Amino acid sequence: MPDILHLAPAPPSPRAIQERVRTRDGVHLATDVYLPGGEPGAPEERRSGVARAACDVAGDRDRVPGDTILIRLPYDKSGAYTFIPLVAEYFTARGYRVVAQDVRGKFRSEGEALLFVNEVDDGYDTIEWITTQPWSNGRVAMWGDSYYGYTQWAAAASGHPALTAIAPRVTGTGLGEPVRRDPGDRTRGVEMGITNMYPLTHFFGRDTYLWEPDWSRRDFSAQAEAFMERQGRRSISYDQWVPHPVPLRRFPRGSAFAGPSVPVLHTIGWWDNCAPLSWADVAEIARHPNWDAHHFLRIESIDHENHALLEPDADRVEDRSEAQIRAMLPGYLDPALEFFEVFVRGNGRAADIPRVTWSLGGTEELRTEEVWPPEGIRVQRRFATPDGSLAAERPDRAEELGWQHDPADPVPSSVPDAFSYLRHLPDEAPLGERDDVLTFVSGPQQNDVDLAGPVVARASVRSTGPVMDCFVRLLDLAPDGTALRIARGQLQLRGATDPETLEIDLGQLGYRLRAGHRLRVHVSSSDYPEFLPQPGTGGDPWTEGEHMETNTQFLRVGGVDGFAIELPVLDGELA
């Protein structure tokens, strides 16, 4: 059996007032309230000595009702992982009241731990409770990452009029959804390993149980059953998804954006593994004018865990110290505070806030635009050649290049934790030396070139097996031979014995390719264990992965349907 790290609730912060918010169906949600200057207005018996002293200093100034920032999360409102007490300290020092809440079924909250579907109503009920408190002036904002970014979209979809602005980071309204399995579609997404593991770790009852299956085996479903048997209970969210996903309605109107809008500061990380979900929301928001009018985009050179491309190596650690967290907080929280200053407190004009603020990867630059992608980009294509080059001209002669997909020996993921890609900052060049990875390389850049916008690959592929996953990775190949991944995408083809030209979305890119560097493309059929590998039989990788067959995969290069990648050039010229 695997090692299991059981995380129970951490001790409550001594600065927090502990409350229980009753929802419409009678469930009580554990809630911490942080007030400026400590805990003014809290009953004396519920204040710590530190808080009482702070209240004495704060005096009547902080007893006036004020604006509230709400944070609803499943990762323990008191725990070290999300360091919410430090976040609350930072926000309250700037005059905000902070409400941090364990979502339904998690840690100290009552109810069942069911992913996603209760957050609209629970968000509404919590905001309603806030507006009735003596320390609240009736204005509420929300902030947070990942799942506690998702709870913001859910609360906004509830339509509560007191919700004034939200600041979701590295998240999406489709967070955690299994790949849609429409039998009529030849193409679909590739399932991530975390999809079925999340309800077995973070949503397996109230506490968190961190464990991983033995990835050297392919009996994932059996390992999941063994884990639940060992614990003596099941995960209702896991059973909702395995073996056949049963989608439950997350938003009352179907889309999070079908109702009234609120101003949004929407933060995306260039290296966030959840970025495709964020960009899908950007596209959806653009189709709803009332949301688009108040949608402000911020794109940073970060991964899901807020590690930065150019951060000091000493900060690339799994567990940040308190000093490291405090040093990180201004960059982490100030953008939201500046946004709330306008849309919550009414100080300043919305017209003075750039619609898009973005980091040019590989530099310290933060640029601003009125639209994304920036105006003036030029789409340039590079074509794969039989000799492994990326050429500016399409080769006339068409050929097929082949490789073996052996599900027992898949292409390994470049990092052990996809959420912390930049903590590991891997050199992906060695992956291109494998026999099951096709590699194409451009000439060296004569000058710097800035890339900004969408990246798309077109690949005509087929397989000897019934299902083929096609992975495309775009890398910056440095003169010393190391390679940094700067964009990626993947798509699954069903009925793969019949050729098909795939349009593979590699997401959005904002990056400076330096003089002397080259572009490199990897094409393969696996990236394991971040993505579940095709067993080669057409069977489900999670429930039928033990039965494996080797397939031969083919990619066409040259000719009218040969592999091509479209790159958005903002400044400079590609080699």
212-224 exposure pattern, b = at least 16 Cβ within 10 A, e = fewer: ebeeeebbbbebb
CA dist., res. 30 & res. 18, Å (int): 7
What pLDDT, on a 0 to 100 scale, did the predictor assign at position 181? 82
List residues bridging with 31 in a β-sheet: 19, 101
Q: What is the pTM of this model?
A: 0.94
For residue 52, pLDDT beyond 70:
no
Residue 538: its pLDDT value, please? 96
Q: Residue 40 above 90 pLDDT? A: no
The pLDDT tens digits of the residues spanning 257-273 come to: 999 999 999 999 999 99
Q: Is 571 helix (H, G, I), strand (E, B) or coil?
A: strand
If one compares 38 and 549, the residue with the highest pLDDT of the two is 549
* pLDDT the model gives residue 183: 82
Give the least confident one: 20-24, 39-43, 321-325, 392-396.
Answer: 39-43
Q: Per-residue pLDDT averaged across 424-440, rounded? A: 99
Q: What confidence score (pLDDT) does residue 1 get?
A: 66
Q: Is the pLDDT of residue 14 over 90?
A: yes
- Please determine, for residue 48, whether its predicted confidence score (pLDDT) is greater than 50: no
pLDDT band for position 49 (cuts 50, 70, 90): very low
> Which pLDDT score is estimated for 526?
99
Phi-psi region of 167 (alpha: psi -120 to 50; beta: other; left: phi over 0): beta
Which residue, among 259, 561, 540, has the nearest Cα to 383 in the 3D structure? Answer: 561
pLDDT tens string 376-417: 999 999 999 999 999 999 999 999 999 999 999 999 999 999
- Give the per-residue pLDDT at 564: 99
pLDDT at 53 exceeding the cut of 60 = no
Domains observed in the chain: 5-176+248-369 (3.40.50.1820), 378-571 (2.60.120.260)
CA gyration radius for the chain?
Answer: 25
What is the predicted pLDDT for the residue at 38? 67
300-333 per-position pLDDT tens digit: 999 999 999 999 999 999 999 999 999 999 999 9
pLDDT average, residue stretch 204-233: 97
d(CA 481, CA 475): 11
Work out the angle between the directed axes of helices 322-343 and 84-92 (0-180°, nearest 10): 50
Q: Is the pLDDT assigned to residue 58 strictly greater than 60?
A: no
pLDDT of residue 54: 39
Q: What's residue 46's pLDDT?
A: 45
Long-range contacts from 184-189, C-beta under 8 angstroms, 24+ separation: 185/494, 186/493, 186/494, 186/495, 186/500, 187/491, 187/492, 187/493, 187/494, 187/500, 187/502, 188/491, 188/492, 188/494, 189/490, 189/491, 189/492
Distance CA 544, CA 530 (A): 18
Whether residue 44 has pLDDT greater than 60:
no
Write down the mean pLDDT value for the chain: 95
The predicted-structure confidence for 480-528, as pLDDT tens digits, reads as follows 999 999 999 999 999 999 999 999 999 999 999 999 999 999 999 999 9
Q: Which residues contact 184 (CB under 8 A, 6 or more apart)?
A: none
pLDDT higher than 80, residue 62: no
**Is residue 41 predicted with pLDDT exceeding 60?**
no
Give the pLDDT score at 57.
Answer: 37
Two tokens, residue 286 = 């653009």
